[in-house]
Amino acid sequence: MFFSRLRFVNQITTRRFLHVSPKLNQGMGIDGNNILAESLKKQGVEYVFGIVGIPVIETSLAFQSVGIKYVGMRNEQAACYAAQAVGYLTGKPGVCLAVSGPGLLHCIGGMANAQVNCWPLLVIAGSCPEDHEGIGGFQEWLQVESSRQYCKYAVRPPSQKLIPLHVERAVRTACAGRPGVAYLDMPATLLMGEVDEEKVSLDYYNAGPLTLAHPDPALVEKAADLLSKAERPLVIVGKGAAYGRAEEALRKLVDDTKIPFLPTPMGKGVVPDESPQCVSAARTQALLKADVVLLLGARLNWMLHFGQSPRYAPDCKIIQVDISPEEFHNSVRSEVAVHSDIKPFVEALTQRLSNKKFSLQRDGAWWQGLKEKQKKNTEFVEAQANDKSVPLNYFAVFKTVQANIPKDSIIVSEGANTMDIGRGLLLNNLPRHRLDAGTFGTMGVGPGFAVAAAMYCRDYEPNKRVICVEGDSAFGFSGMEVETMFRYKLPVIIIIVNNSGIYGGFDKEMLRDMQSAGDVGQCTPPTALSSEVRYEKMMEMFGSSGYLCRTVEDIEKAIKESIKLTDRPSIINILISPQANRKPQTFNWLTESKL
Ligand code: ADP
Ligand code: MG
């Protein structure tokens, strides 16, 4: 009965949109689309983000028919970003659905981003009918081969009967161990062809959540011993700890031991940014001086300066905890390497340290040094933030934003200076409440992440807001997703920090003078974008209106009004000085290890 209803919907859609003969669906069996939908449902998939076209229109309808939410986006890349953000937020992979050839290829950047971020994601793309392969089929492409290097698992189910098995494996693989990407290739013939319903085991098992990997007690003891003897211990909290839902355990560890901690960008909020133990404001100093670093769910890659001198003391000892043992000793040799999920490790460690009655003195030399540095750096930031002269600087903008947004908002952020400076001033006191360009430094992720976060909030945390803080260049990559937000009634507050360029731009007169000096292609600075673009007017495309801000008061008013809108997005376009800059850095931001 249920399947007949699906077939009916599918036939109507097929006729209406594709003008193909309904013959394909007239058998007594069940087709690939419905097997796929049922299988995903069975594996707990809740959200699909995608763009439909041949051959996946019916696929999307089949998804909706089984109760999966389908969000139609404007670019496959953004859909892929949305699907992976939902995976990070819920712990279950979101699905990105794409058409064949170019559709799947547009997902590749998103797949790489998820894989590099270690987030679970399942990409499903239609592909050309198998009997058109090799003879120039429509949008024919070697899709499994193209996806393989961005995935943990990439396969084309060989028959309709085997779809449930491969869906189960794809979902499980995406989540197991270090999370990542799975790809399922679905030729039109596989999707549309039917098999006898009796012969498909739609009840193909759901393995359920895997048990957590627990640490070797001897290694916990070793870690506790090293930490308790350290003079200058430091905890680094990465997004692996956020993904591993280790917040409660970590808060207890930090509160009990008074060890200072540093969150990585997306590790922010696992322990509150406002915790007295958070030493983000003395980050350089903390890394430089620590004698033992407890590294929890973060890689010693470029973001953490490879764990090497000159950013760390040459004799600094690392206790590395990760779900993926392949990660151990990659850039420096770790003193203790623990293969474990963060949560059980931290619980066991806290217990060991309490047996040792270990707690760091807040008035000891280590804390004193950090506090002094925090004070000095905070004073610099405050001075900038209190300078409200127009055009505004970044610090004044972020201080105003922070003061006016709800404190439990999910903050999405991307851009160069916008993201870097914003990270320090926009606080996260809850885990998984910051989504940004991540390990891969991908620009264009913001609107897709915001769509996913807003869908997630609507279902799980209805009163929570999503604030999407974008540089003007970053916004340009996926700006058309504003239409998606509008269509799905997602009240995302988009704040564009507009300096008219990449890193920085130029004011109108300066840009005009430069462009009139010769050939426009040779004279337009590559970092320039048009000056003072009125991005907020995009809201007028939907009969709404946005906000243009030049002053602190403008920003306050715009945020207050945007918060009142609960059924649509808003755009707050803040014009800042094209030459506004960040705090002078002690080290080049990407300090080479050889320095
Ligand atoms: P960040 O960007 O915050 O520094 P990374 O993405 O570099 O974080 O590192 C995250 C690390 O966390 C990866 O090495 C990954 O294997 C690990 N990880 C992911 N989930 C867990 C978990 N539940 N327990 C332990 N480690 C995890
Ligand atoms: Mg800019």
Query: How does pLDDT run across 29-48, given as a tens digit for each residue?
Result: 999 999 999 999 999 999 99
pLDDT over 80 (residue 85): yes
State the Cα–Cα distance between residues 470 and 477, nearest whole angstrom: 11
Residues that place a CB less than 5 A from ion ligand 2: 471-473, 499
The pLDDT confidence band at residue 20, using thresholds 50, 70 and 90, is very low
10 Å Cβ neighbour count for 383? 10
Enumerate helices (H) and strands (E) in the chain, giving the number of each. Answer: 22, 19
DSSP assignment string, 299-325: --SGGGGGG-TTTS-TT-EEEEEES-G
Q: In this structure, what token pair is assigned to residue 409?
A: 């908002």
Which pLDDT belongs to residue 586? 63
State the Cα–Cα distance between residues 495 and 419, nearest whole angstrom: 12
Which pLDDT belongs to residue 202? 86
| Residue nearest (by alpha carbon) to ligand 1 atom 9 | 298
Instruction: Encode pLDDT of 349-403 as tens digits.
Output: 999 999 999 999 989 999 999 999 999 999 999 999 999 999 999 999 999 999 9
Query: How many A from CA of 576 to the centre of ligand 1?
Result: 35
How many residues are present in the chain? 595
Which pLDDT belongs to residue 554? 98
* Average of per-residue pLDDT values in the chain: 94
Helix pair 446-460, 76-90: axis angle to 10 deg? 40
Q: What percent of the chain has pLDDT over 90?
A: 90
Query: How many A from CA of 101 to the centre of ligand 2?
Result: 33
The pLDDT confidence band at residue 21, using thresholds 50, 70 and 90, is very low
CB neighbour class for 284 (10 Å; exposed up to 12, middle 13-18, buried from 19) = middle
Query: How many A from CA of 234 to the centre of ligand 1?
Result: 17
Angle at 541 between CA 531 and CA 477, to 5 degrees: 50
Strands of the sheet containing 434-436, edge to edge, are: 434-436, 410-414, 466-471, 493-498, 570-575, 547-549
Query: How many A from CA of 329 to the centre of ligand 1?
Result: 14
| Residue nearest (by alpha carbon) to ligand 1 atom 23 | 244
Chain position carrying tokens 């961005």? 150
State the Cα–Cα distance between residues 176 and 374, nearest whole angstrom: 39
State the Cα–Cα distance between residues 338 and 224, nearest whole angstrom: 12
Query: How many A from CA of 557 to the centre of ligand 2?
Result: 23
State the Cα–Cα distance between residues 385 and 383, nearest whole angstrom: 5
- Return the DSSP state at 519: -
Please choose, from the candidates 433, 385, 381, the residue with its C-alpha nearest in 3D space to the C-alpha of residue 407: 433
Among all bound ligands, the one having the nearest atom to the CA of 431 is 1
State the Cα–Cα distance between residues 428 and 441, nearest whole angstrom: 20
Is 117 in contact with 77 (CB distance < 8 Å)?
Answer: no
Q: Which residues line ligand 1 (CB under 6 A)?
A: 117-118, 178, 238-240, 243-244, 264, 266-267, 297-299, 301, 303, 322-324, 327, 341-342, 439
| Residue nearest (by alpha carbon) to ligand 1 atom 19 | 240
State the Cα–Cα distance between residues 498 and 130, nearest whole angstrom: 48
Query: How many A from CA of 307 to the centre of ligand 2?
Result: 30
Is 518 in contact with 526 (CB distance < 8 Å)?
Answer: no
Q: Average pLDDT of 536-555? A: 98
- pTM, two decimals, is 0.94
To test ligand 1's pocket by mutation, which of 113, 250, 305, 322 has the most ligand atoms within 8 angstroms of CB? 322
To test ligand 1's pocket by mutation, which of 113, 117, 239 has the most ligand atoms within 8 angstroms of CB? 239
pLDDT over 90 (residue 11): no
Terminal Cα distance for the chain, rounded? 69
The type of residue at 195 is V
Among all bound ligands, the one having the nearest atom to the CA of 327 is 1
State the Cα–Cα distance between residues 455 and 451, nearest whole angstrom: 6
| Residue nearest (by alpha carbon) to ligand 1 atom 4 | 298
Chain position carrying tokens 């869906």? 167
Instruction: Encode pLDDT of 124-138 as tens digits.
Output: 999 999 999 999 999
Contacts of 451 (CB under 8 A, 6+ apart): 49, 71, 73, 78, 82, 481, 484, 485, 488, 490, 492
Among all bound ligands, the one having the nearest atom to the CA of 87 is 1
Among all bound ligands, the one having the nearest atom to the CA of 419 is 2
pLDDT over 60 (residue 24): no
Which pLDDT belongs to residue 590? 55
Contacts of 136 (CB under 8 A, 6+ apart): none
Q: What percent of the chain has pLDDT over 70?
A: 93
